[in-house]
Amino acid sequence: MTMFMTSAARAPLVTLSLALTLGALVALPGTAAAHATLESSTAAANSTYKAVIRIGHGCDGAATDRLTVELPDGVIAAKPMPKAGWTLATEIGAYDKTYDYYGTPMAEGVRRIVWSEGSLSDAFYDEFVFRARITDLPDGTELPIRVTQSCGDAQVAWTEIAAPGQDPHDLPHPAPVLKITEARGGGHQSHAASAPAPSTVTVGPITASKAFARATPGAARTGAAYVQLRNTGDSPLALTQIRGEVAERIELHEMKMEGGTHKMRQIDHLMIPGGGTISLKPGGHHVMMTGLRRPLVEGESFPLTLHFDTGLEMTVTVPIGPVGAMSAHSHN
Protein backbone atom coordinates (compact mmCIF):
# COMPACT_ATOMS: atom_id res chain seq x y z
CA MET A 1 0.00 0.00 0.00
CA THR A 2 1.34 3.43 -0.93
CA MET A 3 2.27 5.60 2.01
CA PHE A 4 1.10 9.20 1.82
CA MET A 5 2.30 12.54 3.14
CA THR A 6 -0.47 14.98 4.01
CA SER A 7 -0.59 18.79 3.71
CA ALA A 8 -3.43 21.11 4.76
CA ALA A 9 -4.49 24.54 3.57
CA ARG A 10 -5.81 25.58 6.97
CA ALA A 11 -6.25 23.89 10.37
CA PRO A 12 -4.39 20.64 11.05
CA LEU A 13 -5.92 17.71 9.18
CA VAL A 14 -6.87 14.73 11.26
CA THR A 15 -4.82 11.82 9.96
CA LEU A 16 -6.75 9.82 7.41
CA SER A 17 -6.87 6.12 8.08
CA LEU A 18 -5.14 4.39 5.21
CA ALA A 19 -6.82 1.17 6.22
CA LEU A 20 -10.08 2.65 4.97
CA THR A 21 -10.15 2.60 1.17
CA LEU A 22 -12.70 4.25 -1.04
CA GLY A 23 -13.76 0.92 -2.46
CA ALA A 24 -14.64 -0.35 1.00
CA LEU A 25 -16.98 2.48 1.86
CA VAL A 26 -20.59 1.45 2.24
CA ALA A 27 -23.11 3.56 0.36
CA LEU A 28 -26.36 4.52 1.95
CA PRO A 29 -29.60 3.17 0.52
CA GLY A 30 -31.88 5.44 -1.45
CA THR A 31 -29.12 7.75 -2.80
CA ALA A 32 -28.89 6.59 -6.42
CA ALA A 33 -30.18 9.92 -7.74
CA ALA A 34 -27.51 11.89 -5.90
CA HIS A 35 -24.75 11.34 -8.43
CA ALA A 36 -21.41 13.13 -8.31
CA THR A 37 -20.67 14.29 -11.85
CA LEU A 38 -18.03 16.15 -13.87
CA GLU A 39 -18.94 19.41 -15.56
CA SER A 40 -16.66 18.43 -18.48
CA SER A 41 -16.26 14.71 -19.01
CA THR A 42 -13.60 14.88 -21.78
CA ALA A 43 -10.01 16.11 -21.85
CA ALA A 44 -7.30 16.02 -24.50
CA ALA A 45 -4.11 14.04 -23.89
CA ASN A 46 -1.11 16.20 -22.98
CA SER A 47 -3.27 19.07 -21.77
CA THR A 48 -4.15 20.89 -18.58
CA TYR A 49 -7.63 19.90 -17.39
CA LYS A 50 -9.87 21.79 -14.98
CA ALA A 51 -12.07 19.29 -13.17
CA VAL A 52 -15.32 20.59 -11.73
CA ILE A 53 -17.05 18.00 -9.55
CA ARG A 54 -20.74 18.78 -9.11
CA ILE A 55 -22.55 17.78 -5.92
CA GLY A 56 -26.31 18.27 -6.06
CA HIS A 57 -27.61 16.35 -3.04
CA GLY A 58 -26.66 15.33 0.45
CA CYS A 59 -26.78 11.84 1.96
CA ASP A 60 -30.45 10.92 2.39
CA GLY A 61 -31.18 14.54 3.23
CA ALA A 62 -28.15 15.10 5.48
CA ALA A 63 -25.72 17.93 4.73
CA THR A 64 -22.39 17.07 3.08
CA ASP A 65 -19.44 18.00 5.30
CA ARG A 66 -16.58 16.21 3.55
CA LEU A 67 -15.65 15.31 -0.02
CA THR A 68 -12.77 12.99 -0.91
CA VAL A 69 -11.47 12.69 -4.48
CA GLU A 70 -9.06 9.96 -5.55
CA LEU A 71 -7.03 10.69 -8.70
CA PRO A 72 -6.31 7.90 -11.24
CA ASP A 73 -2.98 7.10 -12.88
CA GLY A 74 -2.20 9.45 -15.74
CA VAL A 75 -3.45 12.55 -13.90
CA ILE A 76 -0.47 14.41 -12.45
CA ALA A 77 0.55 17.76 -10.94
CA ALA A 78 -2.92 18.27 -9.45
CA LYS A 79 -3.74 21.54 -7.69
CA PRO A 80 -7.09 21.78 -5.87
CA MET A 81 -8.99 25.04 -5.47
CA PRO A 82 -9.68 26.15 -1.88
CA LYS A 83 -13.31 26.71 -0.85
CA ALA A 84 -14.38 29.32 1.65
CA GLY A 85 -15.52 27.66 4.86
CA TRP A 86 -13.83 24.33 4.07
CA THR A 87 -10.49 22.84 5.10
CA LEU A 88 -8.48 21.64 2.10
CA ALA A 89 -5.90 18.86 2.33
CA THR A 90 -3.95 16.76 -0.15
CA GLU A 91 -2.29 13.37 0.16
CA ILE A 92 0.96 12.84 -1.76
CA GLY A 93 1.80 9.41 -3.15
CA ALA A 94 3.81 7.67 -5.85
CA TYR A 95 2.62 7.71 -9.45
CA ASP A 96 2.43 4.52 -11.49
CA LYS A 97 5.64 5.64 -13.23
CA THR A 98 7.94 8.65 -13.52
CA TYR A 99 6.59 11.35 -15.85
CA ASP A 100 8.44 14.11 -17.70
CA TYR A 101 6.80 17.33 -16.51
CA TYR A 102 8.31 20.03 -18.74
CA GLY A 103 11.79 18.56 -18.38
CA THR A 104 11.42 17.75 -14.68
CA PRO A 105 11.06 14.07 -13.69
CA MET A 106 7.93 13.68 -11.55
CA ALA A 107 7.51 10.38 -9.69
CA GLU A 108 4.98 11.46 -7.08
CA GLY A 109 2.32 14.04 -6.48
CA VAL A 110 -1.22 14.61 -5.25
CA ARG A 111 -3.19 11.37 -5.36
CA ARG A 112 -6.08 12.30 -3.07
CA ILE A 113 -7.85 15.59 -2.31
CA VAL A 114 -10.05 16.18 0.74
CA TRP A 115 -12.37 19.10 1.40
CA SER A 116 -13.66 18.83 4.98
CA GLU A 117 -15.23 20.71 7.92
CA GLY A 118 -17.69 22.49 5.64
CA SER A 119 -21.44 22.21 5.24
CA LEU A 120 -23.41 21.78 2.01
CA SER A 121 -27.11 21.49 2.72
CA ASP A 122 -29.11 18.84 0.89
CA ALA A 123 -31.21 21.73 -0.46
CA PHE A 124 -28.25 23.31 -2.25
CA TYR A 125 -25.79 22.57 -5.06
CA ASP A 126 -22.05 23.23 -5.10
CA GLU A 127 -18.87 22.49 -7.05
CA PHE A 128 -15.41 21.28 -6.00
CA VAL A 129 -12.56 22.12 -8.36
CA PHE A 130 -9.03 20.98 -9.10
CA ARG A 131 -6.66 21.38 -12.02
CA ALA A 132 -4.22 18.73 -13.26
CA ARG A 133 -2.06 17.65 -16.16
CA ILE A 134 -3.41 14.85 -18.36
CA THR A 135 -0.51 12.76 -19.61
CA ASP A 136 0.09 11.07 -22.96
CA LEU A 137 -2.85 8.66 -22.76
CA PRO A 138 -4.35 6.88 -25.79
CA ASP A 139 -7.45 8.32 -27.42
CA GLY A 140 -10.57 6.81 -25.83
CA THR A 141 -8.99 6.01 -22.45
CA GLU A 142 -11.54 6.28 -19.65
CA LEU A 143 -10.32 7.45 -16.24
CA PRO A 144 -12.60 6.95 -13.23
CA ILE A 145 -12.29 9.74 -10.67
CA ARG A 146 -13.55 8.18 -7.47
CA VAL A 147 -15.48 10.51 -5.19
CA THR A 148 -16.67 9.87 -1.64
CA GLN A 149 -19.33 12.13 -0.15
CA SER A 150 -19.54 12.20 3.64
CA CYS A 151 -22.36 13.52 5.80
CA GLY A 152 -21.40 13.12 9.44
CA ASP A 153 -21.08 9.39 10.08
CA ALA A 154 -22.75 8.54 6.75
CA GLN A 155 -20.87 8.09 3.47
CA VAL A 156 -21.76 7.61 -0.19
CA ALA A 157 -18.96 6.23 -2.36
CA TRP A 158 -19.28 7.16 -6.04
CA THR A 159 -16.68 4.56 -7.02
CA GLU A 160 -18.40 1.90 -9.11
CA ILE A 161 -16.95 1.24 -12.57
CA ALA A 162 -19.10 -0.06 -15.44
CA ALA A 163 -18.04 -3.31 -17.05
CA PRO A 164 -17.35 -3.30 -20.83
CA GLY A 165 -20.66 -2.75 -22.59
CA GLN A 166 -22.49 -1.89 -19.39
CA ASP A 167 -24.44 1.36 -19.10
CA PRO A 168 -22.95 3.26 -16.13
CA HIS A 169 -26.42 4.65 -15.42
CA ASP A 170 -27.38 1.13 -14.35
CA LEU A 171 -24.93 1.34 -11.46
CA PRO A 172 -26.24 2.57 -8.09
CA HIS A 173 -23.11 4.64 -7.41
CA PRO A 174 -21.07 5.21 -10.60
CA ALA A 175 -17.75 7.03 -10.42
CA PRO A 176 -17.43 10.13 -12.58
CA VAL A 177 -15.49 9.12 -15.71
CA LEU A 178 -13.13 11.34 -17.68
CA LYS A 179 -12.72 10.29 -21.33
CA ILE A 180 -9.41 11.14 -23.00
CA THR A 181 -9.43 12.48 -26.55
CA GLU A 182 -6.58 12.78 -29.01
CA ALA A 183 -4.14 15.63 -28.40
CA ARG A 184 -5.12 18.51 -30.64
CA GLY A 185 -2.79 20.63 -32.74
CA GLY A 186 -4.54 23.98 -32.95
CA GLY A 187 -6.87 26.39 -31.22
CA HIS A 188 -6.65 28.30 -27.97
CA GLN A 189 -7.01 25.23 -25.76
CA SER A 190 -4.52 23.11 -27.68
CA HIS A 191 -1.48 25.06 -28.79
CA ALA A 192 0.35 22.95 -26.24
CA ALA A 193 2.72 20.44 -27.78
CA SER A 194 1.16 17.13 -28.77
CA ALA A 195 3.87 15.36 -26.79
CA PRO A 196 5.78 16.30 -23.65
CA ALA A 197 8.11 19.21 -24.38
CA PRO A 198 11.74 18.08 -24.80
CA SER A 199 14.11 19.19 -22.06
CA THR A 200 16.90 19.95 -24.57
CA VAL A 201 17.31 20.57 -28.31
CA THR A 202 20.72 20.31 -30.02
CA VAL A 203 21.55 21.51 -33.52
CA GLY A 204 25.22 21.61 -34.48
CA PRO A 205 27.25 23.07 -31.61
CA ILE A 206 24.28 24.77 -29.95
CA THR A 207 22.18 23.14 -27.22
CA ALA A 208 19.02 24.88 -26.03
CA SER A 209 17.55 23.89 -22.66
CA LYS A 210 15.39 25.14 -19.80
CA ALA A 211 13.05 27.05 -22.10
CA PHE A 212 9.95 28.56 -20.49
CA ALA A 213 7.54 31.48 -20.70
CA ARG A 214 5.28 33.14 -18.18
CA ALA A 215 1.52 32.92 -18.44
CA THR A 216 -0.05 36.26 -19.27
CA PRO A 217 -2.66 37.76 -16.93
CA GLY A 218 -5.98 39.04 -18.21
CA ALA A 219 -5.92 40.63 -21.66
CA ALA A 220 -2.17 41.35 -21.70
CA ARG A 221 -0.70 41.29 -25.20
CA THR A 222 2.96 41.29 -24.20
CA GLY A 223 4.89 38.28 -22.95
CA ALA A 224 8.45 37.07 -22.39
CA ALA A 225 10.28 33.82 -23.01
CA TYR A 226 13.57 32.49 -21.68
CA VAL A 227 16.07 29.78 -22.64
CA GLN A 228 19.60 28.62 -21.86
CA LEU A 229 22.00 28.31 -24.81
CA ARG A 230 25.29 26.40 -24.69
CA ASN A 231 27.90 26.58 -27.45
CA THR A 232 30.04 23.43 -27.50
CA GLY A 233 32.09 24.63 -30.45
CA ASP A 234 35.37 26.54 -30.43
CA SER A 235 34.09 29.62 -32.25
CA PRO A 236 31.57 32.15 -30.95
CA LEU A 237 28.07 32.22 -32.40
CA ALA A 238 25.61 35.10 -32.41
CA LEU A 239 21.88 34.68 -31.90
CA THR A 240 20.50 37.23 -34.36
CA GLN A 241 16.78 36.62 -34.72
CA ILE A 242 13.86 34.75 -33.16
CA ARG A 243 10.68 33.97 -35.06
CA GLY A 244 7.32 32.44 -34.16
CA GLU A 245 3.60 32.63 -34.81
CA VAL A 246 2.81 33.34 -31.16
CA ALA A 247 3.19 37.12 -31.52
CA GLU A 248 3.26 39.87 -34.13
CA ARG A 249 6.72 41.01 -33.05
CA ILE A 250 9.50 39.04 -31.36
CA GLU A 251 12.73 40.75 -30.27
CA LEU A 252 15.85 40.15 -28.22
CA HIS A 253 15.98 42.42 -25.17
CA GLU A 254 18.32 43.02 -22.30
CA MET A 255 17.60 44.39 -18.83
CA LYS A 256 20.22 46.52 -17.10
CA MET A 257 20.42 48.51 -13.89
CA GLU A 258 21.14 52.17 -14.66
CA GLY A 259 21.05 54.86 -12.01
CA GLY A 260 19.24 52.59 -9.59
CA THR A 261 16.53 51.78 -12.15
CA HIS A 262 16.02 48.68 -14.29
CA LYS A 263 15.97 49.66 -17.94
CA MET A 264 15.07 47.41 -20.88
CA ARG A 265 16.24 47.86 -24.44
CA GLN A 266 16.25 45.92 -27.69
CA ILE A 267 19.53 44.37 -28.91
CA ASP A 268 20.31 43.15 -32.42
CA HIS A 269 22.24 40.04 -31.40
CA LEU A 270 23.43 38.00 -28.44
CA MET A 271 26.94 36.52 -28.59
CA ILE A 272 27.55 33.02 -27.22
CA PRO A 273 31.29 32.39 -26.78
CA GLY A 274 32.92 29.13 -27.82
CA GLY A 275 32.60 26.64 -24.99
CA GLY A 276 30.33 29.07 -23.16
CA THR A 277 26.74 29.27 -21.94
CA ILE A 278 24.32 32.20 -22.05
CA SER A 279 21.08 32.19 -20.04
CA LEU A 280 18.11 34.27 -21.09
CA LYS A 281 16.31 34.72 -17.77
CA PRO A 282 14.06 37.12 -15.83
CA GLY A 283 15.92 40.31 -15.00
CA GLY A 284 18.46 39.84 -17.81
CA HIS A 285 18.46 38.94 -21.48
CA HIS A 286 15.11 37.67 -22.68
CA VAL A 287 12.80 37.22 -25.66
CA MET A 288 10.18 39.97 -25.77
CA MET A 289 6.92 39.11 -27.57
CA THR A 290 4.52 41.94 -28.35
CA GLY A 291 1.15 41.71 -30.03
CA LEU A 292 0.42 38.21 -28.72
CA ARG A 293 -2.02 36.44 -31.02
CA ARG A 294 -3.50 34.55 -28.07
CA PRO A 295 -3.00 34.55 -24.31
CA LEU A 296 -0.17 32.51 -22.87
CA VAL A 297 -1.92 29.87 -20.78
CA GLU A 298 -0.14 27.96 -18.02
CA GLY A 299 0.35 24.30 -18.93
CA GLU A 300 0.41 24.92 -22.68
CA SER A 301 3.38 25.62 -24.99
CA PHE A 302 4.44 27.20 -28.28
CA PRO A 303 7.39 26.95 -30.71
CA LEU A 304 10.08 29.55 -31.34
CA THR A 305 12.73 29.31 -34.07
CA LEU A 306 16.18 30.66 -33.21
CA HIS A 307 18.44 31.98 -36.01
CA PHE A 308 22.23 32.34 -35.71
CA ASP A 309 24.77 34.30 -37.74
CA THR A 310 26.24 31.14 -39.35
CA GLY A 311 22.89 30.23 -40.91
CA LEU A 312 22.16 27.64 -38.23
CA GLU A 313 18.57 27.60 -36.95
CA MET A 314 16.72 25.52 -34.38
CA THR A 315 13.14 25.26 -33.16
CA VAL A 316 12.53 25.15 -29.42
CA THR A 317 9.25 24.20 -27.73
CA VAL A 318 8.54 26.70 -24.95
CA PRO A 319 6.36 25.44 -22.05
CA ILE A 320 4.25 28.10 -20.32
CA GLY A 321 4.63 28.32 -16.56
CA PRO A 322 2.68 30.34 -13.99
CA VAL A 323 2.41 34.12 -13.99
CA GLY A 324 5.64 35.36 -12.45
CA ALA A 325 7.56 32.09 -12.98
CA MET A 326 11.30 32.50 -12.41
CA SER A 327 12.52 29.28 -14.04
CA ALA A 328 11.49 26.31 -16.15
CA HIS A 329 10.72 24.46 -12.91
CA SER A 330 8.39 27.10 -11.42
CA HIS A 331 5.20 24.96 -11.63
CA ASN A 332 3.59 25.97 -8.39
Where along the chain do the CATH 2.60.40.2230 domains lie?
5-181
Task: Supply φ then ψ for residue 173, to 5 degrees.
Answer: -140, 70
- pLDDT single digits (tens) 22-63: 333 333 333 334 479 998 899 888 888 899 999 988 988 899
Indicate the pTM of the whole model.
Answer: 0.52
> What is the per-residue pLDDT for 2?
43
Name the helix (H) or strand (E) containing 223.
Answer: strand 222-231
Where along the chain do the CATH 2.60.40.1890 domains lie?
200-321
- pLDDT single digits (tens) 112-139: 999 999 999 999 999 999 999 999 999 9
Q: What percent of the chain has pLDDT over 70?
A: 82
- pLDDT single digits (tens) 216-249: 887 788 999 999 999 999 999 999 999 999 999 9
- DSSP calls for 252-267: EEEEEEETTEEEEEEE
- Angle, CA of 186, 189 and 194, to the nearest 5°: 55
> What is the per-residue pLDDT for 141?
94
CB-count exposure of residue 132 (10 Å: 0-12, 13-18, 19+):
buried
- pLDDT single digits (tens) 57-102: 898 889 999 999 999 999 999 999 999 999 999 999 999 999 987 6
- pLDDT single digits (tens) 262-290: 788 999 999 999 999 999 998 899 999 99
Position 178 pLDDT exceeds 50: yes
Position 207 pLDDT exceeds 70: yes
> What is the per-residue pLDDT for 330?
55
Q: Looking at domain 200-321, what is its CATH homologous superfamily?
A: PCu(A)C copper chaperone (2.60.40.1890)
Q: What percent of the chain has pLDDT over 90?
A: 57
d(CA 325, CA 172): 45
- Structural domain 5-181, CATH architecture: Sandwich (2.60)
